[in-house]
Structure 1
Amino acid sequence: MKNFLITGGTGFVGSHLAEELIKRGDSVTILDDLHSGKMTNLEKIKEKINFIKGDIRDHILLKDICKENDGIFHLAARTSVQESFIKPEEYQDVNVKGTENVFTQAREYGIKVVYASSSSVYGDPIELPIKEKSSMNPINPYAQTKVDKEKLAEKFAESGLKVIGMRYFNIFGERQSKEYAGVVNVFLERIQNKLPPKINGDGLQARDFVFVGDVVRANIMAMESNIDHAFFNVGTNTSTSVLELANIMIKAANLDIKPIFGPPLEGDIKMSIADISFIEKSLDWHPTISIQNWLEQKISAQNN
């Protein structure tokens, strides 16, 4: 049994990660300010975890928590692209300064950190699929915080911190908040109400959708690996357009409707697909569940 700290553990990925670690027999402490996470996400394991409501920018609190742990999964962050245009200073403060605090305490106690980066660091890529060495071109304040966190990771790695950044592509699965993410759950809600999916822009923008359970496995495998410092793409090497996504759902639900279109969102990336050869080779990690299969099964179950 090992002791792990998850920052942002009441969130989408964090709660699934906590469940998996508990299932393995590990001890889990969660630090979360509940800005966007929900305690209901931890309903299945609430009696088995140590939950602390607090802020990753709190030096004294974090120092006290960190020393008891064997590893830190750092997932706490502000995550809304659209909100980041309105509150860029808050995003810098929480995402970058908060991360610096986590890294500082982890280095002091010699604790390995696996943290959430994002495919948003690449912006609109020049070449596809996107490799880890592809150039960075953040096109919104949220993405800029992710780039700044990677620079911090490199700096701290040079001074002895074991730190791995996981560049998540578009994650899907149960418990995803429609306010802070993605198109999948927004579309699903409308389909459940027999309403047409609303698409921002022409719908040709394409994403690499990766299942949350696969993301959790990638995080744990990175933590358990002998690799001290790296950045990994966490995707599937397959892209699906937003229009395709809408049509998959409409077909699975057997509805006679068509998507409706609205103006494009500011800061929206046109095309994204991950080259995952590095994580496959380094960690022997492979995605297992496709967005199409998951959606078909979910909608079929709801209809029965």
Structure 2
Amino acid sequence: MMPKARVLVTGADGFIGSHLCEFLVEQGYQVKAFTMYNSFGSNGWLDSTDPEISKQIEFFAGDVRDPNGVRTAMQGVDVVLHLAALIAIPYSYHSPDSYIDTNIKGTLNVVQAARDLGVRVVHTSTSEVYGTAQYVPIDEEHPLVGQSPYSASKIGADQIALSFYRSFELPVTVIRPFNTYGPRQSARAVIPTIISQLANGVEQIKLGALTPTRDFNFVRDTVSGFEKAIGADAAVGEVVNLGSSFEISIGDTAQAIADAMGKQVEILLDEQRLRPANSEVERLFAANGKAKALLDWQPEFGGLDGFKRGLKITAEWFQQPVNLGRYKSDIYNL
């Protein structure tokens, strides 16, 4: 049996990155985790992973904004799965400069090093680059509209990555996940916001706009899409959506979570959670045919039934005291 690729995961300490590292180890890959350097010696969510998996991961602490550290981390690997990014939309309103540095310059550092070292790149995009759906389902040809500094920075990062494919024939695939959710997600996101408030016994939960729709992707489906992209030669030079091809409103999502947790819920509008009017993405609904064709990928947790199964798993994780204790559900997390 051929040994599997040696893979570097940037953003490995985060929500999706930590799940991805664990999945890759389980699938037999050699995994190097690029985590954000900090004085606490923390590897983020990978600190809580199973020790049997953790001991198979090589850790590298650095910062994607530093080209020298990125180049050092990428030596000796076959593929880089580039997930490191600033992703909070509200924080991008008052600190947009940091999004340019991390998301655009960080991506440039990755593809520059990859070109020099002969490393394949799987770059992470986001459904936010589409803005509010101009037609549905949203395929990869949909116009790109930067409705927040965050989404604009990701459009820039995507184009930097693709430019290196077009200019230098660097093998680049852009994976564009829709709204990933699951255990470990930040309370900045709507599903953990709802679950953590309900799990703490709150009966009146605070949310922003309830009418926008989202295409939620359970984290297991997202990471399986990344794994399939590693060896998918047909996807080189391509942008590929990962989505459930299913949409649900934020209000209906809150009710589905309450049902999954056996709770009654009353929703209160929290003005500070509202995006500026022209910045709110009103509708996201993915076309995923390209992922099926190029990656042989389809969601295990697709549709309403799959969404409810994913919510149940997520709620059970958050309700464990050791996990719930990590979250501050009484404050608004930017």
- TM-score normalised according to structure 2 size: 0.85
Is 1:75 equivalent to 2:83 in the alignment? yes
Is 1:24 equivalent to 2:27 in the alignment? yes
Of 280, 283, 291 in structure 2, the residue corresponding to residue 279 of structure 1 is 291
> What is the deviation of 1:88?
0.9
Q: What SS class does the counterpart of residue 101 from structure 1 fall into?
A: helix
8 Å contact from structure 2 (residues 123, 158) kept in 1? no
In structure 2, C-alpha distance between the alignment counterparts of 1:34 and 1:184, rounded to whole Å: 28
8 Å contact from structure 2 (residues 246, 286) kept in 1? yes
Q: Residue deviations 1:252-276, cap 9 Å, x none? A: 3333332222332233311111011
Is 1:60 equivalent to 2:72 in the alignment? no
In structure 2, the CA distance between the partners of 1:43 and 1:54, relative to structure 1 (3 Å rule), is: farther
In structure 2, C-alpha distance between the alignment counterparts of 1:174 and 1:269, rounded to whole Å: 24
Q: Which runs of 5+ in 1 are unaligned?
A: none
8 Å contact from structure 1 (residues 172, 291) kept in 2? no
Q: Residue deviations 1:67-108, cap 9 Å, x none? A: 200110000111111111111111101110111010011111
> What is the deviation of 1:43?
4.8
> What is the deviation of 1:62?
2.1
Aligned length: 300
8 Å contact from structure 2 (residues 8, 79) kept in 1? yes
- TM-score normalised according to structure 1 size: 0.93
2:98 aligned partner: 90
Q: Residue deviations 1:55-76, cap 9 Å, x none? A: 1122222222212001100001
Q: Which runs of 5+ in 2 are unaligned?
A: 321-334
In structure 2, C-alpha distance between the alignment counterparts of 1:90 and 1:252, rounded to whole Å: 38
In structure 2, C-alpha distance between the alignment counterparts of 1:216 and 1:300, rounded to whole Å: 20
8 Å contact from structure 2 (residues 18, 46) kept in 1? no
Question: Pairwise mapping of residues 62-141 of structure 1 onto structure 2 (< 5 A)?
Answer: 62-141=70-149
Q: Residue deviations 1:236-256, cap 9 Å, x none? A: 110111111111122233333
Is 1:7 equivalent to 2:15 in the alignment? no
Q: Which amino acid aligns with 1:259?
A: I
1:184 aligned partner: 191
In structure 2, the CA distance between the partners of 1:65 and 1:252, relative to structure 1 (3 Å rule), is: closer
8 Å contact from structure 1 (residues 10, 41) kept in 2? no
Q: What SS class does the counterpart of residue 233 from structure 1 fall into?
A: strand
> What is the deviation of 1:291?
2.0
1:293 aligned partner: 309
In structure 1, C-alpha distance between the alignment counterparts of 2:313 and 2:59, rounded to whole Å: 33
Q: Residue deviations 1:182-222, cap 9 Å, x none? A: 11111001111232332202x11110000111111101111
In structure 2, C-alpha distance between the alignment counterparts of 1:143 and 1:259, rounded to whole Å: 28
In structure 1, C-alpha distance between the alignment counterparts of 2:282 and 2:44, rounded to whole Å: 28
In structure 2, C-alpha distance between the alignment counterparts of 1:298 and 1:275, rounded to whole Å: 24
The list of structure 1 runs, each at least 4 consecutive aligned residues, that deviate by more than 3 angstroms after superposition, is: 34-39, 41-44, 296-303
In structure 2, the CA distance between the partners of 1:34 and 1:275, relative to structure 1 (3 Å rule), is: farther
Q: Which amino acid aligns with 1:265?
A: R
Identity of matched residues, %: 29
Is 1:222 equivalent to 2:232 in the alignment? no
In structure 2, the CA distance between the partners of 1:221 and 1:131, relative to structure 1 (3 Å rule), is: same
In structure 2, the CA distance between the partners of 1:197 and 1:111, relative to structure 1 (3 Å rule), is: same
Of 263, 269, 288 in structure 1, the residue corresponding to residue 281 of structure 2 is 269
> What is the deviation of 1:32?
1.8
> What is the deviation of 1:154?
2.0
In structure 2, C-alpha distance between the alignment counterparts of 1:88 and 1:236, rounded to whole Å: 30
Q: What SS class does the counterpart of residue 216 from structure 1 fall into?
A: helix
In structure 1, C-alpha distance between the alignment counterparts of 2:315 and 2:66, rounded to whole Å: 43
Q: Which amino acid aligns with 1:293?
A: R
Question: Pairwise mapping of residues 228-243 of structure 1 onto structure 2 (< 5 A)?
Answer: 228-243=236-251
8 Å contact from structure 2 (residues 123, 161) kept in 1? no
> What is the deviation of 1:112?
0.8
Q: What SS class does the counterpart of residue 197 from structure 1 fall into?
A: strand
2:182 aligned partner: 173
